[in-house]
Amino acid sequence: MESASASAQALREQIAATEARLQKLKDELAQVEASDAARYLNGLSLNGGPVTPQNGSAKWPLLNEEYQRYGRQMIVPSIGIQAGQLRLKSSSVLIIGAGGLGCPAAAYIAGAGVGTIGIVDGDTVETSNLHRQILHSTSKVGMRKAESAISYLKSLNPNPTYIAHTEHISPQNAQEIVERYDLVLDCTDNPASRYLISDVCVLLSKPLVSASALRTDGQLIVLNSPPLPPGNEAGGPCYRCVFPKPPPAESVVSCGDGGILGPVVGVMGVLQAVEAIKIIVEGKLAPSPEIQEGLKATPTSMLLFSALSPQPFRSVRLRSRRPGCFACSKDSGLSLEGLQSGSLDYVLFCGLASSANVLTPEERIEAAEYAKIREREHLLLDVREKVQFDICHLDGSINIPFSAFQGGAKAENDGKVPTWLPESLPKEAPIYVVCRLGNDSQVVTRKLKESGLDSGGKRWIGDIRGGLKAWKQQVDENWPEY
Amino acid sequence: MASETIPITVEFTGGLEMLFADQRKHSLSVPAKDERGQAVTVGWLVHYLCVEVMKDPRKEMFVLDGHVRPGILVLINDADWELEGEASYALQARDNILFVSTLHGG
């Protein structure tokens, strides 16, 4: 066994080294090709007259290779070359988030020949990303997402200029990053960054293509398009026009907690690329002054995608700019200086999840300690959703999902013995509550004690600190972590 | 005619269906008049759904402080209810009322 795993390790190292060498060669090739192109373009601008360089004639605005590469999209009548391909080539697009939305969006934006592409992401690649984040691969686990994405994109199309921003977007860096680009794609995964990105796009007059996804649903909305200054009612609505108040933090579910089907978020990312290309090709990045004068209020629409619905796509009509909007109305309270100085706390605005450290240390037990008392009479209550319980659970545990403990109606049951409590369990036998990471289990423990199930302290009720993740770390390394 | 009813369709998406027995589409017959004899509105419907249709105890995930919770869009026949008079819109036969919870994942 040991020698087999040793030779597997040796092979893995050899593969990693070879892949690194291959990547280096690809990068060198991309550089050589880029300097070739630069030389060609220089020749073009210096010699106005007819010349006959090796790869064709200077009268052609694209490289020979580009005619082949973009030919299939250039012969689409609504694209063409002047309004289409050349506009794409001279435009710049910022993709914020290199995850399930950003990966497919970036692949099509790069493939289409957008001239400059920026990728913002402060995270590193994890194995759990790979089923949907298609620019990353198994060998890139641990690598910066922005860099991993760009290495894929370079091998897909070496022509664009790629810029990696290996940090999360923040009020402090947002202006500096966003102002270098013509158009922004919001491919992030939380409300705080969605409000921030919308605000920055309003302040810097950038159209914004925003999408989101969870489980089997997705949503797409084009915001601040046309990107007219705050106070101009003809501009497109911003995120705050549609969602003036953030949702309560408890109602926000991440892909990590709620799950996500890969192609669902993929569809939404691809649709973002479609909308971005439309805005560029239709000349809507910055409307001319004449257009600005003549425009009336511009309502927007939201595309809803529900993979399980008999009619999976549905478009709904939304409002135009909201009078009195905090960001884009004439009464706007936003400014770039205010943003820089940190006067707007987006994380606070969207609220913090309140689950951390609800319990005192005495109400919690380490996974390793719990492992030692497993033989004694007790109840292990697993409060993960059933679909997660079905993947793996500890022997003897019973499953009552966290959602069943939420809501005001439960108060009616206070003082009564819950139906899920086994009748055979002695009145003073302790109850251990467990979940995936040790947050929900604290909330449930508190609720159980408040309902009087601890018989005034005679029965110990507490949670397993760090949940089943800690169980894997401390007790059973073969425990499946999903 | 207290027994007069109007047929409407109510739909939930973006995860809200989980609060309504995992059912996305509900065909309902609702009373045409409220208890004061007024024509029923979308605002009345929200309360009705909370009391009569929703079995899940997590009411605050749908209605918060007497209003539809922030982060939920209400669409009347596929248009934002803000374009239709919001809660005061009087329900018509065969209306489609869609509640969409905003998603944030990506």
* Residues of A with catalytic function: 255, 435
List all residues of chain B from 71 to 100 with a beta carbon under 8 Å from chain A. 71-73, 75, 78-80, 82-83, 98, 100
Contact A251 B56 (CB under 8 A): no
Residue A287 CA, chain-centre distance (Å), reads 29
Mutate which: A251, A354, A414, A447, vs B, most B CBs within 10 A: A251
In which element (H, E) is residue A354 found? none
Residues on chain A touching B73 (C-beta within 8 angstroms): 242, 302, 316, 318
**pTM for this predicted structure:** 0.86
CA–CA distance, B92 with B94 (Å, rounded to integer):
6
User: Are the C-beta atoms of residues A140 and A125 closer than 8 Å to each other?
Assistant: yes
For chains A and B, what is the number of CB pairs under 8 angstroms? 125
pLDDT at B90: 96
CA–CA distance, A275 with A282 (Å, rounded to integer):
10
Q: Which residue has the tokens 């770390």?
A: A473
Residues on chain A touching B79 (C-beta within 8 angstroms): 316-317
> DSSP 3-state helix, strand, coil percentages of chain B (rounded to 5)?
25, 35, 40
Task: Look at chain A and count its residues.
Answer: 482
- Residue scoring higher pLDDT (A55 or B72): B72
Strand ranges for A174-300 from DSSP E: 183-186, 208-214, 217-223
Residue A385 CA, chain-centre distance (Å), reads 23
Homologous superfamily of domain range B5-101 = Beta-grasp domain (3.10.20.30)
CA–CA distance, A192 with A181 (Å, rounded to integer):
21
Which residues are bridge partners to A7 per DSSP? none
Burial A440-453 (b: 16+ CB within 10 A, else e): bbbbbbbbbbebeb
CA–CA distance, B35 with B43 (Å, rounded to integer):
14
User: Are the C-beta atoms of residues A104 and A134 closer than 8 Å to each other?
Assistant: yes
Q: Which residue of B has its CA nearest to A411?
A: B57
User: Are the C-beta atoms of residues B88 and B1 closer than 8 Å to each other?
Assistant: no
Where on the phi/psi map is residue A191: left (φ > 0), alpha (ψ -120 to 50), or beta?
A: alpha
CA–CA distance, B27 with B7 (Å, rounded to integer):
7
Angle at alpha carbon of residue A481, lines to A479 and A482, rounded to 5°: 145
Q: Along the 482 residues of chain A, how does pLDDT read in single tens digits?
A: 557 778 888 888 888 888 888 878 877 776 676 665 555 444 443 333 333 444 555 789 999 999 999 999 999 999 999 889 999 999 999 999 999 999 999 999 999 999 999 999 999 999 999 999 999 999 999 999 999 999 999 999 999 999 999 999 999 999 999 999 999 999 999 999 999 999 999 999 999 999 999 999 999 999 999 999 999 989 999 999 999 999 988 888 888 889 999 999 999 999 999 999 999 999 999 876 666 666 677 889 999 999 999 899 999 999 999 999 999 999 998 999 999 898 889 988 998 766 567 899 999 999 999 999 999 999 999 999 999 999 999 999 999 999 888 765 444 555 678 889 998 999 899 999 999 999 999 999 999 999 889 988 899 999 999 999 999 999 999 999 99
CA distances from A167 to A182, A208, A251, A347, B48 (A): 20, 20, 27, 17, 47
> Beta strand pairing status for B63-64 and B67-68?
antiparallel
Contact A265 B79 (CB under 8 A): no
**pLDDT reading at B57 higher than 90:** no
Sign of CA dihedral B58, B63, B64, B70: positive
Mention every residue, 6+ apart, whose C-beta is less than 8 A from residue A467.
A434, A435, A436, A437, A438, A439, A441
CA proximity to A339, closest of A324, A349, A329: A349
ipTM of the complex: 0.94
> DSSP 3-state helix, strand, coil percentages of chain A (rounded to 5)?
45, 15, 45
Mention every residue, 6+ apart, whose C-beta is less than 8 A from residue A4.
none
| Helix-helix angle A102-111:A145-156, to 10 degrees | 30
Nearest to A217 among B14, B61, B106 (CB): B14
Nearest to A217 among B57, B82, B103 (CB): B103
Where on the phi/psi map is residue A224: left (φ > 0), alpha (ψ -120 to 50), or beta?
A: left
Q: Domain segments of chain B: what residues?
A: 5-101
Nearest to B104 among A99, A250, A252 (CB): A252
User: Are the C-beta atoms of residues A163 and A154 closer than 8 Å to each other?
Assistant: no
| Helix-helix angle A262-281:A102-111, to 10 degrees | 40
CA–CA distance, A214 with A217 (Å, rounded to integer):
6
Structural domains in chain A, CATH included, are 91-350 (3.40.50.720), 361-474 (3.40.250.10)
Contact B104 A304 (CB under 8 A): no
